[in-house]
Structure formats: C-alpha cells, structure tokens
Amino acid sequence: MVSTGLRTAKLGQTGMEITRVGFGAWAIGGGEWEFGWGPQQDDESIAAIDRALELGVNWIDTAAAYGFGHSERVVARALAGRAERPYVFTKASLLDDGTGRVVHSLKRDSILAEAEASLERLGVDAIDLYQIHWPDPDQDIEEGWSALAELKEQGLVRHIGVSNFDVAQLRRISSIAPVETLQPPFSLVDRSVEGEILPYAERAGIGVIVYSPMGSGLLTGAMTAERVAAMPANDWRASDPDFTEPQLSRHLATADRLAAVGKRYGVSAGAVAVAWTLRNPAVDGAITGFRRPDQVDPIVAAAGLDLTDDDVAEIEAAG
C-alpha cells in the first residue's frame, strides 16, 4: 500500500525527527571534480530543492567535497530567505589537491578549518549534523572524531556522525564521543552493509541514513545501456564497474523487476528501490539525489510505500 503524507522517523538518539527520504546534494555539486556527475544547472538544482521542501522533505545532505564547495553554495542559495529551513547535514575530510582530485585529511586543524568554511558557505550558525566523510587515513580517525566532538562542544555543530565506517572503526571512536549517526551505501546494487554494519548500528542506537539507495541511478527505471554510453567523461559513473558489463545488464534487470512492482502501486521503479532500503529496521532515512524538479515527486513517494514480503521476493529474484 501507499500512504499519503510524508512519513518521519527518529534519527537514532539525536532527537531529530526526519522525513524518511531526504534531499541528497552530491550530484548538484557539478562535474568539475573527481566524483562529479557531469555539468549541472544551478537554477534547476535550486528548483529541485524547492520542490522537495514543498512536498515536506525536511533534511538536505551535502558535503564540502561535492564540487569542492559548490553544492553547499547551491544549497545556501535555495534556503536563503526562508522563514523555516530544513535540517542541513554536511561532511568533512575530503580536500581538493588543486587539480580537482580528492585528498583525505582527518587532522584536527584541517577539520576545524573545513567546518568554518562550510558554515560560511551554507550561511548557518550551526550545522545540524556534521559527518566524517571517509575513514581515511584510518590511523587518524580518532583525531578526526575528536575534532568533531570539539565542534559539538563549541556549539558549531549540533550532532556528529560518520560515513563509510565499518564496525571496528565505529567501536574505536565510540569511546571518545558517542557516534550519533552512520551514513553507509545501501541498495539492491550494494548490500554489503546488511550482514554486520546495519545490525550493529541498530543495536548501538546509531541513527542510519543510507546513500545511493537507487544505485546512483541504475535502479530508477530511466537508465539504459544507451544512456550510460552517452555519459559525459566528467560523470564518474561512466567508468564505474557497476555501469559496465556484465554488471550493467544485471542491474537493469533488477530495475525492470522494480518497475513491475511499482506499476501495481502506481509509483516509479526508483521509489520501490528506495522503499526496499527503508524496510530494513536499522534504516531511519534514505538520501535521494535530485537534479531537476521533475525528478522529485516520483521518488518522494517511497516515504509512504509499504512493500509486502511477496513484493520483496519478486524484486530480489535472480534475473
């Protein structure tokens, strides 16, 4: 069944009540960096944010690395002048090496400088959720996490979390300060966190927001082999193994099964893909990326979609 109204969930123990789908601002960072999605139209990106907020989405997840500040600036433009703004989540630890490629740093001074720059770009007094983007270098995760705890103490960030950490790393840093949230990749394309990471987060009371629930576009129902072949060179997906054979055909077959289930509910394949991730009891919310306003409505429907066991069996069936 599909329920009306945008459902919410408590994000771990943060006290924040978030809509089950949030606005992911990776793609709107543009193509001028190592993991860009090709050229984007900022006015279209802002219109997409406007539409998501109009439908009730109450959080945006971005990062300093997305276009090396560009995504945060676009988010700030979209939120300027609003009487009420959504929660704004961002991340640190990925820096520009000067050529558009990423270098990692979890050094205290670097994290503190990144936070200051993000606050300025976003135009906010405090960041609602500040996250370590990647646990790299591994030997510095304690230093990086201590810096986030320091920022929270200072009131510059309200809550702190991590992205892409494994269970051993979560345990290592939890003695410094409680890990409030985790952001892992999770989709029918990448289910690697199901076995250990999500159950651990649920037991530990860590809030979970998953990224790439539609497999970076593979499971939207709009992806085709022809569209992949035509991707611009500065779209990171063009050289990703999941977007090349033999994986591509397997993922597109999964998208076909999602579309068949979606047809019964009157929703898109992408909405079914997102709803599949939200069935996991550890998952509080899913980050859904939009670049144009027309992409928003078909996916936000996932927040109210309840899949049956039979639906899931059909979706997960071998192609």
Angle of helix 70-79 versus helix 108-122 axis, rounded to 10: 40
Note whether residue 231 is domain-resident. no
> Is residue 145 a contact partner of residue 107, using CB atoms and an 8 Å limit?
no
Residue among 295, 303, 227 at smallest CA distance from 272? 303
For residue 265, the model assigns a pLDDT of 95
User: In this structure, are residues 179 and 203 in contact, taking their beta carbons and an 8 Å threshold?
Assistant: no
Q: Which two tokens stand for residue 257?
A: 């099964």
What is the rounded CA–CA span in Å between residue 146 and residue 72?
A: 24
Whether 291 maps to a domain, the answer reads yes
Q: In this structure, which amino acid lies at residue 129?
A: L
pLDDT at 4: 45
- pTM of structure: 0.92
Q: What is the DSSP string of 71-95?
A: HHHHHHHHHTT-SS--EEEEEESEE
Enumerate residues 6+ apart whose C-beta is below 8 A from 282. 198, 199, 201, 202, 208
- Res 107: pLDDT: 98
| CATH code (residue 201) | 3.20.20.100
Number of domains present in the structure of the chain: 1
Residue from 289, 306, 307 nearest 57 by CA: 289
Residues of the domain holding 89: 12-216+281-309
262 assigned to some structural domain? no
Does 68 reside within a domain?
yes
Q: Is residue 1 part of a domain?
A: no
Per-residue pLDDT at 250: 82
Instruction: State phi, psi for 215 to the nearest 5 degrees.
Output: 60, 40
Catalytic residue among 66, 87, 211, 265: 66
C-alpha–C-alpha distance, residues 260 and 250, integer Å: 16
Per-residue pLDDT tens digits of the chain, which is 319 residues long: 544 469 999 999 999 999 999 999 988 988 776 776 677 889 999 999 999 999 999 999 999 999 999 999 999 999 999 989 999 999 999 999 998 899 999 999 999 999 999 999 999 999 999 999 999 999 999 999 999 999 999 999 999 999 999 999 999 999 999 999 999 999 998 999 999 999 999 999 999 999 999 887 788 877 676 777 777 777 767 777 767 888 777 878 888 899 999 999 999 999 999 999 999 999 999 999 888 999 999 999 888 999 999 999 999 986 5
3-state DSSP call for residue 266? coil
Do the beta carbons of residue 315 and residue 276 sit within 8 Å?
yes
> In angstroms, what CA-CA distances link 100 with 36, 41, 63, 94, 122?
10, 19, 15, 11, 21
Instruction: Note the pLDDT of residue 291.
Output: 86
Residue 251, in any domain of the structure: no
Greatest alpha-carbon span in the chain: 53
pLDDT of the residue at 318: 67
Active site includes 87? no
Residue 208: strand, helix, or coil: strand
Distance of CA 82 to the CA centre of its chain: 23
* Domain presence at residue 183: yes
- Within 155-224, where are the H helices? 167-174, 197-204
The verdict on residue 238 lying in a domain is no
Bin 50: left if φ > 0, else alpha if -120 < ψ < 50, else beta.
alpha
